[in-house]
Amino acid sequence: MMHKRDAVYSAEGRLYKYDVNNINESDPILINDVITADGWEDSRLVVVANGTLPGPPIIVYEGQTITVQVTNHLKSEEVTIHWHGITQNGTPYMDGVPFLTQCPISPGQTFVYKFVASHKGTYWYHSHVGAQRAKGLFGALIVREKKSLEMKEHIMTIQEWNHDLDADLEDAKMVFGFYENRKKFQSSQSLDGQFFSNIKAQSGLINGRGRYYSDENSHNEAPLEVFAVEQGQQYRFRVIAAGQLFPWSISIDNHPLTMIATDGFDIEPQIADAFIINTGERYDFVITANQTVDNYYIRAKTLEINRNTTAEAILQYYGADQNVQPTSVPRQCTADDRCVVVNCFFPYYPDEYFTDCLPIDNLKVKSDTDPAPPVHQGKFKEYFLNFAFPGVVSFPSTINGRRFVFPTKNVLADPDDANFPCEEADCGEQRHCFCTHSLSINHGDTVQMIFLNMGQGTGWAHPVHMHGHTFYVLKIGYAKHDNRTGLKLEGNSDIDCRGGTDRANSWCNNATWSNQTWANGNVPGMELLKPVRKDTIIVPSGGYVITRIKADNPGVWFLHCHIELHANDGMAMLLNESFPHHPSPPTGFPYCHSYPDNETPPSTTTTPSSMPSKVPINQETGTTVSGKFLIHVSTYSSMMQ
């Protein structure tokens, strides 16, 4: 950690200059002047917006036009900014995906994003280049209704953190091998016996602050984020999962949570003891500050069973001693008083947890006038998309066996190159191919996409994010699990993976329903009247998620796993929606391409790959006023803003 040009260290939740020997005789350094991360004293390079981790929140009102000027001050990297959850209806060039919707912003260049905040909710912005998001380039984007707040609000971002390695090195270790002290790094496992990829998280950060625990009881006394509340009042928390890999289970000691929204859409209130949030997702909850005036821990924990990765913050009542750490304890779940957790990616906790799962498809959208798009004869399409790592020698990140290769020009601005079909001769049922995987969608169609995680390449849950839409979640099908241990036993039998072999050995590149009467939107058990709306959904290992959209947003939209390593390795594709209706690029919009400009088909040669082993910037009101913001992207070394 650095303050200006001086090293600092943490003690008793405060920061002190490196040469202070007696903290009782020295004034602490202002915490807001330092990117503390987990309090590790050695510096680590971060990439951030406007000098803060996370970047400053942008808070606007529904219907406002947002103008953001992004200037790239990085010396060696390009950048783009994606506005996660904003559908960009009518403004697809503002979506922020390099070579799909824009040319990346080179060092020294400026790009002005301009779009409408069309729907209230909790959103966020982040880099969509390489591993920059995990390096710190993200922040909250909050769209409020044009009315007085019903209650005070807090914004909370959650991420994992490695204070030794930056995300590029982690990515390289994933591909070429991860070793520590001459031993292979062991993947961590989740509660259901499945795996997480080879990322070493030493700690977790809430709003950019956390602590490094050397063991379960000893930490480095780094300062935590503090959320102030007044006794007797209610507070809305807007939670954003900004990390690169791990799901987090979040709870607050002595305070039940009332879940009220996810990914920008209100849901019927659901009381829970905790909720699980996967990278890319957002959840809003309400608490009532009805406890004794004191300090209480906000707790977040990954679902790893062989590592203890935690993040903490403090819920501090006005009047509580600010110099005293919380002594609260988490709720104890018992056989007679079981706990409830929302958004599990498995159906059962092990018996000894005394905890019940509430899947996301059990929740209902709050609106009574937002049913799933209907099925119309001739205007309904159904697609099975398998997110997995199938293979024999190599195990690339794929969708239906296709590893995504980015085009070398902006395909949205160059309509002749908007669709690069993967050649079927190279992309068979039990084969890999590397190509610019795309799916053409006709304007006005109802499109049902079944996100799968099936076959020989399963074993890791995938949070899938769709640009350009919020889809309707109609049903989740889990793998078969042991209801006592919670462990996965075998894949869901609703899916026929085909491939000329059994489900466990099929690559599941050409799946369909096992029961063909389920085709054409006839799957039993779907929620069609009040389905939850999402733009990011966890696809369970061995299972599937049924989603549906109306093809009414012309553009080229990215669909990908939101685990940074998986997306970078090719678990992605593009949706070429309503091609004849694509809008023309803005005047003066930049073009980019290789030189010479003779696009060659992407290679289909299979090569070995990795086994997945603080204050608003501005706020304006009114119906026609635009919000204008400046974002400067720079590198810092855990130093002064």
pLDDT digits (tens, 9 = 90+) for 511-540: 999 999 999 999 999 999 999 999 999 999
pLDDT of residue 613: 36
Provide the token pair at 223: 């300062």
Q: Which amino acid is at 283?
A: Y
Per-residue 3-state assignment (H helix, E strand, C coil) for 438-476: EEEECCCCEEEEEEECCHHHCCCCEEEEECCCCEEEEEE
pLDDT of residue 420: 61
**Matching residue, tokens 């908007």:** 418
Residue 186 sits at the vertex; the CA angle it makes with 181 and 192, to the nearest 5 degrees, is 160
Separation CA 112–CA 631 (nearest Å): 10
Q: Which amino acid is at 605?
A: T
Note the pLDDT tens digit of each residue in 159-195.
Answer: 999 988 777 787 777 778 888 888 888 888 899 999 8
259 strand-pairing partners: 270, 285
pLDDT of residue 618: 43
Q: If you count DSSP H runs as helices and E runs as strands, how many of each does the chain have, helices first?
A: 3, 43
Handedness of CA 478, 484, 487, 488 (dihedral sign): negative
CA 308 to chain centre: 21
Per-residue 3-state assignment (H helix, E strand, C coil) for 142-159: EEECCCCCCCEEEEEEEE
Backbone φ and ψ for 325, nearest 5 degrees, come out as -75, 150
- CB neighbour class for 327 (10 Å; exposed up to 12, middle 13-18, buried from 19): exposed
Judge contact between 39 and 212, C-beta under 8 A.
yes
Nearest to 141, CA basis, from 121, 115, 111, 165: 121
Q: Which amino acid is at 99?
A: F
Provide the token pair at 301: 């924990």
Q: Does 205 have pLDDT greater than 80?
A: yes
Q: Does 627 have pLDDT greater than 70?
A: no
Judge contact between 239 and 154, C-beta under 8 A.
no
- Across 391-395, 515-519, 632-636, the highest mean pLDDT is recorded for 515-519
pTM: 0.93
First to last CA, the chain: 12
Note the pLDDT tens digit of each residue in 611-626.
Answer: 333 334 444 333 334 5
Torsion of CA 627, 633, 639, 640, to 10 degrees: -40
- Across 5-9, 171-175, 563-567, 595-599, the highest mean pLDDT is recorded for 563-567
Note the pLDDT tens digit of each residue in 258-301.
Answer: 999 999 999 999 999 999 999 999 999 999 999 999 999 999 99
**Average pLDDT, rounded, for the chain:** 90
Separation CA 275–CA 328 (nearest Å): 19
Judge contact between 272 and 341, C-beta under 8 A.
yes
Judge contact between 70 and 81, C-beta under 8 A.
yes
Separation CA 126–CA 242 (nearest Å): 8
- Three-class DSSP category at 123: strand
Residue 201 sits at the vertex; the CA angle it makes with 199 and 202, to the nearest 5 degrees, is 145
The whole-number average pLDDT for the span 453-474 is 96
Walk me through the domains of the chain, giving residue ranges and CATH numbers: 153-362 (2.60.40.420), 380-581 (2.60.40.420)
Note the pLDDT tens digit of each residue in 75-85.
Answer: 999 999 999 99
- Three-class DSSP category at 590: coil
pLDDT of residue 247: 96
Q: Does 609 have pLDDT greater than 60?
A: no
Provide the token pair at 575: 């949706």
Nearest to 236, CA basis, from 177, 166, 165, 156: 156
Tell me how crowded residue 366 is: count the other CB atoms within 10 A of its CB: 15
The whole-number average pLDDT for the span 441-457 is 96
Is the peptide bond prior to 586 cis by the omega test (within 30 degrees of 0)? Answer: no
**Matching residue, tokens 């635009």:** 626
